[in-house]
Structure formats: structure tokens, C-alpha cells
Structure 1
Amino acid sequence: MKRRYTAAAAMMMVMGLCASASAAFDENLNSYTLDSMIVEADAVKNKFGDTITEQSYYRTGGDVKVITREEIEKRHYTDLTEAIKRIPGVTFQNPGYRGGEYGYQFYNNGVSINGDTRVIILVDGRRVDNAASTRVGSGTKSGSKSTGVNLDQVTNMENVDKIEVIKGPGASVYGSDATGGVINIITRKGGDQNVGTIDLSTGSWHKHKYAVSYSGSAGDDNSWHYFISANRDMSGDTGYKDGIVGSNGSLGGSKWKEDGVNFRLDKDFNDKQSLKVWYNFKQGKDGYPIAVPNMKYWNQKDWNDIIFKATVGQLDENNKLKFEYQQKSDRDPADTKYEYGGKDAAGKDIYYKLDADGNKIKNYPTLSGDAKNPGYHNLYALDGQVYGSFSKFKNNDWDVQYTFDKENGMESFIRVYDQNHRYAHRDKYKWYVKGSGAGAAYDALFPNGATNEELSKWISENLAPFPDGDQQKVKEWLEKTGGAAQEPTSWHEEKNRGVQLQYAKTVGVNDIIASVTYDRAKNYSKRYDTLGNLTTSYVERKSVLGYIQDKIHLSDKWDITPALRYAKYSAFETTNDKGTTQGKGDTHLLTPVFNTQYMFDDTSSMYFGWTKVFRPLKQGDYTSVDGVFKTPLDDEKGDAWTFGVRKDLSDKTSVAVHYDWTRMSNAIATLPVQLNGEIKNTAVNAKEDKKSFNLTVDHQFDEHFTLSASYSHMKDKWMAKNGWVLDPSWGYKNPADINTAINSLRPQNHYSLNLSYENGKLYTGLLTNWYTGCSDYAFTNNRFLVLDWNMNYEINKDLTAYVIVSNLTNEAYETSYNSWNGVGSSAMPGRCWMVGMKYTF
């Protein structure tokens, strides 16, 4: 241990770091592993108050939070989302169950930092998104701002050593499109001692977790290091609390099972040269019922009413089916085959269209979408609960890195990587036994209407039964309509391979880093046709990303870091059985970056950063124009600034203020609008002015109690380029401009309180998240309070017992809104507990 202390101290001196009086801002920083060496006590911070990691040399200032392995072990986070959500300013938007997808496309699943969804996900400093992916931005209506990566599918928690969350442009080496920030997952490296762990837990909703890991070193000089882990996580249907009526429900069909295996092998040739081989495998099968049932309408009577309106049509007071007519102004003047039908309720003339024989052409309009047919999204229970619709994914990732030099903590290396991700789904549901023509069938049988008993009987015999009703009828319906969802016959495969070369050198007071990355991304679409033949097509995009930065140490108290980043993206190429087609998308830009940080004294420092933003459009954004606002989209461009101050008020109290401002000259705003009775997504080029503010206070009461409190506020102002405003007929409240839609879809304020207690073998923590300023247009309440609690107890040096309770008070809340499904359709999980044991050998 003494040798480790000496090595760690020597490394810190070489890096030019000095001790900080406080280890505030990040939890459990008493000690952690840094490249196989143990970093102790106040050496985990540099002189500016930044937490040190293997890749902290990329950063200059910025608001950076680091989740260490020690915190992961004590808090027993089950996935990356659960760990990262404790970071102030980080918000996840998802539908409340594990899968989080609607087939291949994201479905209300994303992460934002200070309100910005332009977030980059990394593993050991390497981007894991795919430039040809259509998971986000498959069409103009979708836009392209989301990261395109589902965090919980990246890797398992056993493989994670640290998680860096970088807010704003403080580390623009990772991309000129990372305006929101960066989430960097740093993987585990084997230590000197051979250590194995077995972690087993179980809890609510038949949730189970099984994890095993083994790590150590080999060779006469312990220069070989290895780490291997495997896990299985699974759960039954998720429980939730309905935010409208306040009752508890179960999200049928949301069960999931995911497996993972990770392997990392390191060879330390000497102090400056090393080799890393990393492999990641993860796969899962996740149910996706799309939306939680609305408990207000979750009964047999309302089910019959909703499914009839959605499948057959609307009835009058005699249960006679209505059919469509047209207003006088809607008729085609060249077509005279109409019959006058009197006046409607508003006193307007109505006409029925006639066929060639003079008969009325009957069209039976159905009602879809929650606004027109309240409780409509209850029908999604057929997809998940009855038919077992699901999504599947499988990841196989390789990363080989040879480091040929290290200087002042910086690495010079060459890296080769290969990512293979497969996504498949099967969505099945049946509303009407015969498949189509429900309106004509009902009208033929009851042309003059039906009694309530006749109506009920017809629904029972022809339409899908209530999923929580007579289970024998549900079983019979399932058999009658072909059974549950089977294995997929089509899928997407995303592949990207690349090479990165980085060279770092210290010249006097200059720490210079230059890198270039070549990435070749492909997105395959594969399908079996009706004859069983496999058809394949793919889209390809190549990119070259170059970067050079110079961290200049002007004095012991002041660093400035100018940088230039070059991004070149090729046009999209589509290849199928007809050959290769050159598409749009060829684009490139050189973007400048500037960051600085200054230390006033041993207790206070500040930072400032600016970067030019460039975010290229995805393939679907070039294809066409949307039907609502007809304009092609352009690459997103703008500027991002960040500023912050840190101050140690005492040896036990620290405070930090972070402010960022993103001003986009061209951004993409995506709006769900109501047009002619239909919900449509439309994307427009707009100007964006986003500002956010974070305040963090850390206090250590004594050697046992530690408190971290924070406040985050964020707000976007969107401005149409040509003075475009929302049409009042699209159904928005106070539709003065585009801000009405954007800012109502998330809480305005986020308060967080993180209290931990540690005494010998006992560790316990309580995380409080309070969200306010939620619009009742999108949420069931304008504020909600969510508590998460855990306790960890060391029975002996090898055995630990723990308990985790999420949503301790069983709060009803949502983190996202969908205009088609309505308020409360994305309810988050209710109270969930897990108990477990971890054994070390």
C-alpha cells in the first residue's frame, strides 16, 4: 500500500497538480483507482477543484461531475440512467419501463443536460453513436437533436469504473455538436490483486439481478491486467401510479430480460507504453406496451366505447353508425354528385357524396388520438399485455488501443474499434377479428341502429376484449387472431468501424494534443420476404474528425486552451439490389474552441468556455419536406458559452455556480401539431436561445454526514426565422409563438438534495429530486417529489448486504409527454424495492 501511495503522489506531481482543501462536488472521493493506481484523499482534485480522471487532460474548466466506482458500490446503481440521474441538470425523458423503444425508433427516450438534448455518449473517450443511424431523425418530422444512443443499452454497471458528466462545451475534443455536454463511461481495469465478486438481488415486480466479476494481474511483474464480468437483469411487468386518478396500476407486457459480458485486457510494457483490448457484449428482449393505461377509463364499459370509436366509428343516440359528410366549402366544384343533407349543429350546409348510381358513399370516420377519443392509448395494452410485442437488441463492440507515449498525464495512441449493433422488434395487435371493414359490417347488420344489448353483444363477438376482463375470452381472442408476436422477420444492423490517432506533447508551458479519427458507419435494413429470401440494403456515411488543442499554463494559477476542430461528413450512399445511389449530406466545417480557468487562491477558481457549434443533419432530414411547414432543413449551427465559479467557504462547505448560454443561428425545432383533426410532427429551422443555471452547495456536517444540494433552471427561447407563429387551430393554449410548445414539455426547475451517512460498516443515502414549473398541458401535476433511498452494510470483509428503494413515497409523475397519447400516458415506475447480497472472494 505504501508503494501505491508513493506512485500516486509521484504521478500527481508529474501532472502538475496540487492538493485541494476540499473534495466537494462529487460523492465518495476518499479514494479510487486511476489507471491501476490508487488515488487517495485530496489528490483526487486538481488545484482548480476539478476531479481527476484518466481523461481529465481533455478538459479545461467546466462543470464536471464524476461518479466513482466506490459510489456505484455503495449506492448499488442497477443501470447507467439510475446513476446519472442524481447529477444536477441531467434529465431523462422516457416512458417509464425498461425497453424505452417503439421498435427500432426511439419512443420518448432521451437524455438532456441543462435542457439540451445534444449530448454525446462515450466509452473510454470514444463516441458510440452511429453517423448513419436512423433511430433518431428518420424523417424530417423527427429532427436530429437527440443523441441516438440508449444509455441503458451501452454496457452493464459491472463494467463501469467511473462516469464523467461534462456540462456544456468544456471538452469540445469530443465534438462540436456536444453543446449540451458529454457523458463519458470509463471502463474497469484489473488491479494488482486477484479479486472476484458475486452480486445477487431480488425485489418488486419479480426483478432479479445476477452479476459476477473477476479481475487481477498476471506475469512475473504483474504487467498483465484483466477484468471480466457477466450479468443478467430481468423484471416482470412494471408497476406505476396513475397521476390522474391516483390509483396503482401494472403496465402489462413491460417485462424484460437483458444479459451482458465484458472483457478488458491491459498490458503495461513500461510507464509510457501499454496495450488495451476491450470487448463488450450486451443483448436484451424488452416488452414495449408503448403507454400506460389511463386508469380513469380502464374498465369494460369504457374499453368497449373506446375500441368501437377507434375501429368502427361514431354512433348517434340510437346506436346507428354515422357516416362522413362534407361542408359546402369542402366540395369539389367540378363534382356535382352530392346530395344536400340539411344543416349541421353549427348551422352550416352539409352534403353527402354520391356514387355513379346515385347512392350515398358511406365513409365511417373513426376517432384516434387521446384528444379525440379519451383513453385511446389504453388500446396499446393489446400490443404489450395480450400479444406480447417486444423489441430486441444485441451489441458486439471491440476496441483495441496501443498507447505509445505518456507525458504529463496525456496519452499518445492509436485506436481501432468495431461496433456492431442489431435492433429488431415485433409489434402485433388486432382490434377487429376480420381485419377490416368493421364499419360496413356493423352498418349492414344494424342499418337503423341497435339496442344496447345488441351493441354489447356485437362488440363482444367482433372486437378485441378488455385485457383485464374475462381472461378466457382474452385467450380465445389471442388464438383466434393468430397467437402472440413471433420472432422478427426484419431488423436493422448498425455497424461502424474506425481508427483514431492521437499525439500529445509538452513543449514548455504548452500541453498540445492533436488527433484525427476516420469512421465508416453503415446502417443495414434486412428483411425476409414472403418467399423466405433475405433482402438487404444499407446506408453508408463516412466521417473524418480532426482536433488540435493547446493547454497553455500561463502561470500556476491560469490555464487557457484554444482549439480547432474539423468535421467532414460524406454524403449518404444507399446500396440495394439496384446498385448504389449517391444522396445528400456532404458537409464540413472548421470550428474554433476556447476554454480557460483561473485560480484566485487555494479556495476559489473560475472557468469560461466558448465553442462554435456544428451538428450535421441525419439522413432522414434531407429526404423531403414535411407537410405542415414546407422547408428543407439545414445543419444546426450556433455558439455556446459556459461560465462558472467555485468557492470553498470552509474546509467543510463548498459552493459552485454554473451558467451556460447556447445561441443557435440555425436549430431544429420539432412540434407535434394538430392539423385537420390529425396529430402531425413537423420540424422547422428556427433560432434558439437557451440559457441554464446551476447552483450546487456541498457540506460535510461531520465525519459521518455529507450533504449536497443543488438548483437547476433552464429555459429555451425559440424564434422562427421568418416570423412564423403557431396556427391557433393547431390546438395549443396561448399559441403566441413556438415557445408555447417547447417549454411546456419539461419542468422549469429542478431541486436536488443528496444526503449520505457513513459510519464504519454502515452506509446509507437519500436522494431527493423535486421538479416544479411543470405545465398542466403536458403533466398530471405542476410539481412532483421523488425520493430514492439505499442502505449498504458490511457483514464482514467479504460479504455486504444492501437494500434499495426507488420512488420511496410512490409518487405519480412523468418525465415526458406525447401529444397523441395524452397527459399521463408515460407514467414513471411506482415504488420499487430491491434487496441483495454481494460476496467478494
Structure 2
Amino acid sequence: MNTTGKRISAALLACLALTTFGGGAQASFDEHLDNYQLDTKVVKGDRSKDQFGNTVTEQSYYRTGGDVKVITRDEIEKRHYSDLTEAIKRIPGVTFQNPGYRGGEYGYDPFNNGISINGDSRVIILVDGRRVDNVTSARVGSRTGRGTKSTGVNLDQVININAVDKIEVIKGPGASVYGSDATGGVINIITRKGEEANEATLDISTGSWGKHNYDFSYSGSAGNDNSLHYYVGLHRVMSHDTKYRDGHTGDTGTLGGSRFDERSGNIRIDKDFSETDRLTVSINHQQGKDGYPISTPNLQYWNEADWNRIIFAAEVGTLDDQGRLKPNSTVWGRVNKGYHNLFALDGLAYNSFSQYKNNDIDVKYTFDRQADMESFIRLYHQLHTYGDVDKYVWSLPGTGHTSIQDQFNADFPNGATDKEALKTWIKKYLAPFPGGSMSDLEAWVAKTGGKAPAPKYPPDEKKYGVQLQVSRSLGKHDLIGNVTYDKASYYYHDTDENYDIKEYTMRRDSLYGYVQDKIHVNDNLDITPALRFVYNGNYTKNGVSQKGATHAVTPALNVQYKLDDTSSVYAGWTRVLRPLRSEDYISTYGEYKTPLHDEKGNVYTLGYQKTWNKKTTVGVNYSLTDMTNAIAYMPIFTKWTVYENNAPVQKQGFRSTAVNAKEKKTAFNITVDHKLNQYWTVGAAYSHLSDKWGVKSGYVVDPSWGYNDSGDINTGINKLRPANHYTLNVNYEKGKLSSGLLINYYTGANVEAFTARRFLILDWNLNYDVTKDLTTYIAVTNLTNQAYETSSNFRYDPGSSAMPARQMMIGAKYKF
């Protein structure tokens, strides 16, 4: 056997041997900054922090102070994060509002879409400092008209994590350049550049639920002076259906329809003409097809009897004491216990799915560099095509009748008093229990039109623009001026008033401006005033204005002061403005017909950090978000009109409605990092946040929620997430062996929304360097196989967003 064969065999044997340890993968808060890549130069530990203790990155000159965490390439490789979400979720205060599975995470509804930082979902996603959101995006369908604040960006579809060099997470609007709408904060993804030495890496892993991951990258430089740097990355990940642990029963279930298959390719080329001049070309391609499961079934009601109860109440209605059908008596949502189990039909039976294809091109020419600040011009183009097919049929049309209710009344004119007869009727006209007979389920799918077809008209999101930045260092002043012109469009098909399919294009042009002066008053004090300007033009639909033009100038001021060589404090204030999206301007919803307004307010931040003996660092951060207008989205008693047989029918009940409101949100974060010795490091963190809303009198929340103050429609917002998040990271590294244990502890969860008040989750990883070129590893998430949720939804029972059960991945990485 040749040397290469021996190495591969050794890797496989090591992986098999390591399985006896059990464990999972995550990171610590030490950020692994002793030796990392900055631009095209290696930065040692003494350059990783500035004089105030702030982490230095390619774009850190934009910010002054702030609560910032940086995840480096070294950490990504050692912890084996499978995607960007997994890498970032370990940061206290950062929450992903999805059930934890991949398929359908970002396609269905606001509760299942987006990212929040310190409880605020007004978050901006960047790649190399450029915004990737699209202001015409309709990623949450028509629900923008009800006030969703989703970013409209699926983080895991932005770029393959194998192409990521660093992830910079900025809590709050401390980095003013990124926009007045970054109220919650910023996630800046910095891509990998070619290194000096040519090197290829192959990383292959496999594990639970038939998950397979393949990564290949090639990085290097060319030319006599190595001035041309290049990076090429290829990635594929696929998985069968995810398993989850149910918090009601403690049983492990399979989430039907959660399988996925995603692929990507990335190219980045950097040409250095001098120390200050560089041309960078980045090309990113991603595509995938994900299942569409929507929610995790409640196994407490996962049986045929409960299924029949749930689907009959939701699709047909409620019976009186004589077995007669009450008019307009269908029961949806959490009042119908186990209601969300019906969504299992979508993914499990009909194979509903979402698919996407992204192609991004970014060309940036840097023509000057002073005091680490860049002056550049950038051209960019994004084309994102996505579509979803959510097919389900709960009932068959009645024979010779106009509705399933008519069929029931015809078959039981004197009421359904015979339980067996009713059961037979349900079996004939309503969808069968997905956990029962597969032949019955397949027969039902066949007679209701078959499985989900490919989407006929997948919509496109397109964005292109130009960005110019000029930076100058003049004495004590570091000045930055930045302007971006952005053209966004959304192309889709919809039915017109005659129910004919028509093509529509929504467009909006935007202009962003920014001026900052970082004043180095002395070696101990930086003061950074900034002004931001934003102009959003009218939305146009097929060339016809839909209104919505808005413009504003928002100031910001950040100050950082070095108390001594080991500690510093910072304070910041910024005025924020978040413009509404397209549907918010052209539709109102519910009985109140509330016209929505742009969200406006102020954010205040305070922070302190201290280092003892170069081994222990403590950071304390507090922020207050005071919104004079925010949008609340909760169920309110309202009236609406539906059309049945082309005739309007008035209905009433509790339904999600968007209203203008005042909001005061406070967030508190504390982190402690300690290096025990040359082998062991420990990081601990705590995060707490709370909202206080004020709304128009007269709005009443659903009494089935059981709130003491039902007049406050937003009481439930804090109930939809745990109040406290504790983390403890323990890391060991010695010679060829390295390992990390992450403990996440969530407390203060309300049992109206969660299956338990607290959850303790462990993730673990282990790496072993077989040779200098070959590393084997194990990564296990949810090591103790706990049932838990990190988010909830007001419509459904607790546990509808259950996170995945224990998953193990074993793999090998080879460099050549």
C-alpha cells in the first residue's frame, strides 16, 4: 500500500476508534485569535486587539467599541460547523427563529424566518461589508403586510461556510456605516482569500440520519511576487429526514420531509498592484432543494384517534350534543390541541419542498489604504431564484355538493350519533393518519393529484449596484465617506382579478450615504460622530407606483475611553429608521385597517471590558432600544372577509394583525474568558433581554392564552423565547489532540409556549491530527439527546419548533 493509501486507511481507523467517545461540536469564546489571517498577512496575537481591547478585522475600522464577537477560520475548522447558523448560534443573545431543521426554515412564516440579536430581528447580513438583503424580497410571502420584520435572507444560503474566513457579529447599531435599519445588529461574513502557499484541502464527513458532507478547497498565489491570490471552494451537503425529541412524551420522532441536498461553488481572486491598490473579484454560486416540513408534530397526539379529532375540527367543524354540525365552526390553531400535526401531510405525504439557486458577483477595486481604512469602488450583482411547492389536501370534495360541510350534512341529516359511522365517513373524506398505513396514505396522495410538482413560476430576486468609499487619515481624524446606489427587483407570477396568471415585477431604487469621523483625541480616547442618509424610492409594480418613498438623515455618536492598560469603557447612541417593505404600503389588514408607519427610535449602549494578567477577560454590555414607532404582530380579535363560491362571507375571530406600537427593549450581556493554562481555556456568558410594549387601547389578545393583562397585545412576545441564556465553553488543546465542550442553558421559558421552563444542551467535538496533513474528528450536537426548543409560535402548542435530537458526524480532513 502506498503512503497516501496508508494515510486514508489510518484516517478511517481513527474515525472508527473515536466513535467510542460519543461527543459533539461547538466553540468557546476565546475566538482563537492567537494566530489568524487578516487581509493577506498573518496577524499574531499582539495585533489581534487594538489599544481598547477591540478585536481587529478587515472592517473593524468602521466601529468604535460595541459588543462584538469574531468567529475565526481556525475555530470553524476545529469545531466543524456545518453551516453559518451553527457557528453563530453559540453567541449569547443571538437567536435563530427556526425549528432547527434545514428544509423549509425560511419559506413559510415570520415565526419561522430570520435572525434576532438581543431579541431584535432588525438585523443586517453582510458579505465582505456589502449588504445582501433585497428590499423587494417577498421571502415571507404576503405576510409583510402584517408587519413582519424578517431580514428576507436565509443565512445558510448566503455562502458556503467552507468559503468563510471570519464571522463578525456586532450586537446593536454600533457600526454606523451598515445602515440606520441595523437596530438589532450586524452579521458580517468575511470570505477567504488565497494564501501565499498553494494548498488543497479535502474534508469528508458522514453521520446520523444519512447526512454526508463534502468540502474541497484550493488556495494559493501566483506570479514572481505572489501578488495574485486565489481561492476556489466546492461544497455539497445532503441529509435524510431529521430526528427530533418531543418535549411532551420524551419520545424521538422522525420529521418527515426535512431532507435536503445543497451544493455550492465559490471563487475569489485578489490581485495586488501595490500595498494600497488591489482588485478583488468574488463569484458565489449556491443551489439546493430542501424539504418543507413546517413544524415538528406533537407526539402526544400522534395517533389515529387524535388525528381524526384534529382534522375533523379543522376541516369540517364542531358538533353539538346531537351530533349536528355547528355553522362556521372550524377550529384552527392552539385551541385545536395538536393542530400543527396536520402539517405533517405537506412534507411526509406530498413531499412539499423549497428550492433555490443563487448567483452573486462582486468586483471591488481598492485604490487607497490609510490607517487600515480602505478607499474603493465596488460593483455587484445578485440573482436569486427560489420557489416552493407546499401541497396538501385535507379533504375530498363532496359528491354533488359544494363543500365538505354540505357533504357531512347530507350524509348525517339527523346528526352523527354513531361513532363507527362517523369514523368510516372520516376515513372516506378526510386525509388518513400519516403515521398509520402507508398504503392508505399513498392511495390518498394518488387520488388527490399526486406529490408536489416542480414550481411553474419560480420568482427571481435581482439586485445590482455601485458603491464608492473614500477614506482619509488627517492628523487625529480618520474620515470615511461612503455612498451606495442600489437597484432591487422582484419578479413573480400571481393571479389577477379575473384569476388569470400574470407576470409582475416589483422594483425599488435606494441611495445610502454615510460620513464618519473617528477622532483620536489622545491615546486613551476615541470619539466617533457619524451621519447616515437613506433614500428609498417608491415601489413600482409593473411600472405603476405603489408609494412608499421615504428618506431620512440619522445621526450616531460612539465614544470609547481607555481607563488603563487593562480596561476600557464605551458608550453609544444612534437614531434608527427601518423602512417598511412593499406589502406594508399597499395593504392593511383586519378590522382596524391600521396604516403602518416606518419604524423609528433611538438605541443607547454602554459597555465595559477588563483583562487580568492576560489570562482573564470580562465584558459587560447593556443596551436600551427605545422605539417611538415599532410594529407589533400578534393575534387580535378582528373581522375579515373570505370568498366562498364567489360570494363574500364575513368571519370573525382572533387573527394575526400588525399595528403601530411603542417599544422599549433592554438587553444585558456578560462574558468571561479565562485561560487556565497552555492547554485549557474556559468561556462563560450570560444574556438577558426583555421588551415593554405600548399599544392603542381597545386591542384584546386571545383569552385562550390566559394572560393576566389581556389588554397588552404584546405580552406574549417575551413568552415566545427563553428569558435567559447561559453558556459555558471548555476547550482543551495539546499536541495532536484538541477538544471542545459547549453547554447551553436556557431558563425562564414560559410553559404556555415551551414544553419546559429550562433546557440544558451539550455539544462536543474531538480532533486528532494523525499526521501534519491528516486530521480525523467527531462532532456531536445535543450530546444527551434532550428535548428542547429555542423559539415558539403563538399559533401552535408548545413543542411545535422542537430542535434536532442527538446527531453525530465523523470525518477526516486531508491537506495536500
TM over 0.5: yes
User: Cα distance 1:104–1:452, how it changes in 2: closer, same or farther (>3 A)?
Assistant: closer
Which of 685, 688, 696 is equivalent to 2:660? Answer: 685
Deviates more, 1:666-675 or 1:152-161: 666-675
Q: Which residue type is aligned with residue 306 of structure 2?
A: D
Deviations 1:646-705 (CA, angstroms, capped at 9, x unpaired): 111222111111111111111111112355774411111111111111111111111111
SS at match of 2:340: helix
Query: Equivalent residues in 2 for 1:335-734 (5 A)?
Result: 365-371=329-335, 373-434=336-397, 437-448=403-414, 449=416, 451-526=418-493, 535-575=502-542, 580-673=543-636, 675=638, 678-720=653-695, 722-723=696-697, 726=700, 729=703, 731-734=705-708
Match of 1:360 in 2: none
After superposition, the Cα gap between the structure-2 partners of 1:151 and 1:728, relative to the gap in structure 1 and judged at 3 Å, is closer
* Alpha-carbon displacement from aligned partner over 1:50-92 (angstroms, at most 9, x marks no partner): 1111111111111111000000010000000100111121111
CA shift digits 1:782-804 (9 cap, x unpaired):
11111111111111111111111
User: Partners in 1 of 2:661 and 2:417 — Cα distance?
Assistant: 53
* Pair 1:137–1:600, CA change in 2 (3 A): farther
Structure 1 position 465, deviation (Å): 1.4
Q: Is the 8 A contact 1:137 1:621 kept in 2?
A: no
**Which residue of structure 1 aligns with residue 764 of structure 2?**
789
Matched AA of 1:659: Y
TM-score of the two chains, using structure 1 as the length reference = 0.89
Q: Kindly tell me: are residues 488 and 528 of structure 1, through their superposed partners in 2, closer, same or farther at Cα, counting changes over 3 Å?
A: farther
Q: Distance in 2 between matches of 1:807 and 1:78?
A: 14
Could you tell me how far 1:366 is from its partner in structure 2? Answer: 2.5
Any idea what SS the aligned residue of 1:809 has? Answer: coil
Residue equivalent to 2:787: 812
**CA distance 1:692–1:532, shift in 2 (3 Å):** closer
Structure 1 residue identity aligned to 2:657: T
Equivalent residue letter for 2:92: P
Distance 1:67 1:601 in 2: 27
Residues 636 and 701, structure 2, Cα contact 8 Å, conserved in 1: no
**Distance in 2, Cα, partners of 1:773 & 1:820:** 20
Whole-angstrom CA distance in 1 between matches of 2:56 and 2:128:
14
Change over 3 Å in CA distance of 1:106–1:145 after alignment to 2: closer
User: Match of 1:267, as an amino acid?
Assistant: K
Letter in 2 for 1:711: Y
> Secondary structure, in 3 states, of the residue corresponding to 2:334?
coil
1:54 aligns with 2:58: yes
1:174 aligns with 2:178: yes
Q: Would you say the 8 A contact 1:466–1:474 is kept in 2?
A: yes
1:633–1:685 CA contact under 8 A, matched in 2:
yes
- Change beyond 3 A, Cα 1:560–1:583: same
**Whole-angstrom CA distance in 2 between matches of 1:691 and 1:59:** 21
**Superposed, which structure 2 residues align to 1:52-451 within 5 Å?**
52-101=56-105, 103=107, 106-136=110-140, 138-139=142-143, 141-316=145-320, 320-324=323-327, 365-371=329-335, 373-434=336-397, 437-448=403-414, 449=416, 451=418
Determine the C-alpha separation between the residues in 1 that align with 2:38 and 2:600. 37
| Cα separation, partners in 2 of 1:728 and 1:199, compared to 1, 3 Å | closer
- Paired AA for residue 837 in structure 1: A
Secondary structure at the aligned position of 1:491 is classed as coil
**AA paired with 1:446?**
F
TM-fit CA distance, 1:141 = 5.0
Asked if 1:771 is matched to 2:746, the reply is yes
The residue type paired with residue 809 of structure 2 is M
Pick from 794, 798, 814 the counterpart of residue 823 of structure 1. Answer: 798
Contact 1:28 1:71 (8 Å CA) reproduced: yes
The gaps in structure 2 that reach 5 residues or longer are: 1-27, 640-651
- Measured in 1, the distance between the counterparts of 2:142 and 2:621 equals 34
Distance 2:694 2:495 in 1: 46
Per-residue deviation, 1:438: 2.3
Counterpart residue identity of residue 207, structure 2? G
Write the letter of the residue equivalent to 2:690: K
What RMSD, in angstroms, separates the aligned Cα atoms of the two structures?
2.1
* 8 Å CA contact retained: 2:634, 2:714: no
TM superposition shift of 1:551: 0.9
Say whether 1:45 aligns with 2:49: yes
- Using a 3 Å threshold, how does the CA distance of structure 1 residues 185 and 728 change in structure 2: closer, same or farther? closer
Does the 8 Å CA contact 2:723/2:747 hold for their aligned counterparts? yes
- Contact residue 100 and residue 107 of structure 1 kept, 8 A: no
Which is further off, 306-315 or 516-525?
A: 306-315
Q: Is the 8 A contact 2:669 2:685 kept in 1?
A: yes
CA spacing shift, 1:105–1:725, aligned 2, 3 Å:
closer
Matches of 2:143 and 2:124, distance apart in 1: 21
> Residue type of the partner of 1:69?
R
Alpha-carbon deviation of 1:311? Answer: 2.5
- Deviation string for 1:792-835 (max 9, x for gaps)? 11111111111111111111111222222222111111111111
| 1:11 match | none
Larger CA deviation: 305-314 vs 236-245? 305-314
Determine the structure 2 residue equivalent to 1:13: none
Residue 401 of structure 1 deviates from its aligned partner by 0.1
The alignment partner of 2:481 has SS state of: strand
Cα distance in 2 for partners of 1:532, 1:712 equals: 50
Query: Which letter maps to 1:791?
Result: L
CA contact 1:732–1:740 (8 Å) conserved in 2? no
Structure 2 Cα separation of the partners of residues 724 and 702 of structure 1: 61
Matched-pair contact (CA < 8 Å) for 1:419–1:495:
yes
1:20 maps to none
- Residue type of the alignment partner of 2:528: T
Between the aligned partners of 2:520 and 2:141, the Cα distance in structure 1 is 42
* C-alpha contact 1:108 1:816 (8 A) present in aligned 2: no
Alpha-carbon distance between aligned partners in 2 of 1:591 and 1:235, rounded to the nearest angstrom: 46
Q: 1:839 to 1:165 in 2, by over 3 A?
A: same
- Structure 1 residue identity aligned to 2:116: S
1:216-257 per-residue CA deviation (whole Å, 9 max, x = no partner) reads: 111121111110111111111111111112211111111111
The alpha carbon displacement at 1:25 in A equals 5.4
User: Match of 1:469, SS?
Assistant: coil
TM-score by length of 2: 0.91
Deviation of 1:118 after TM superposition, in Å, equals 1.2
After TM superposition, give the deviation of residue 522 of structure 1 in Å.
Answer: 0.5
Q: Is the 8 A contact 2:110 2:143 kept in 1?
A: no
For the structure 1 residues 37 and 102, does the alpha-carbon distance in structure 2 shift closer, same or farther, using more than 3 Å as the test? Answer: closer
Aligned partners of 1:82, 1:429: CA distance in 2, in Å? 31
- Paired-residue identity, %: 57
1:6 aligns to what?
Answer: none
Deviates more, 1:810-819 or 1:663-672: 810-819
Secondary structure, aligned partner of 1:744: helix
* 1:442-490 deviation digits (Å, cap 9, x = unpaired): 3323333353332222222332211111112122222222211010123
Conserved? CA contact 2:138–2:144, under 8 Å: no
